[in-house]
Amino acid sequence: MAQLYHDVVDTSVGQLQLLVSNKGLVFVGSPNAALSEAKSYLNNVDAVDQAITDDQKTLKYRQQISDYFEGKRHDFDLPIDHFGTGTRLQQAVWDALVLIPYGMTCDYTTIAANIGQPSAIRAVATAIAKNPVLIVTPCHRVLRKDGGLGGYRGGLTMKRQLLALERTA
């Protein structure tokens, strides 16, 4: 079984749980949620239970997320490890999300078209809701077609805060 490394990042929206593998970032949690939240998003729940703390393995992830919240970073250069989670369509959606530029938004229809599945809007919305890597895979930048916020795993307050942070940077 692949080893996961755990850390916590203190941010302006609360504490965020991180899980990292030797291949990349696996999970970024909702504000102030327990690490057990990861079990709802990852296929390998045993790996979550057996995650260990290793500041050196998690340092660059923690630092870049901290820098983002401090307005010092607009783009991440962190590898993401899907860790066997998600269907091919879901992974394609998650990969498409990282292409949305900082400070910009788009809608679910655009994401569906961008992955070559223009009629799969509902599946795209489901994939976005199951995004295990908040912030770095910026699902907060996806709005409803009418401009409404839609949903967000971290809560609508956090989504508003992230969008406001990116507007003022």
Residue 53: other Cβ atoms inside 10 A: 10
Q: Which token pair is 157?
A: 């307050």
For residue 122, give the amino acid letter.
R
Angle among Cα 135, 140, 146 to the nearest 5 degrees reads 170
**Which of 15, 33, 35, 13 has its CA nearest to residue 158?**
13
Does residue 106 carry a catalytic annotation? no
Residues 6+ apart with CB under 8 A from 147: none
Active-site position among 18, 65, 139, 158: 139
Q: Which token pair is 23?
A: 């291949």
Please list the active-site residues.
139
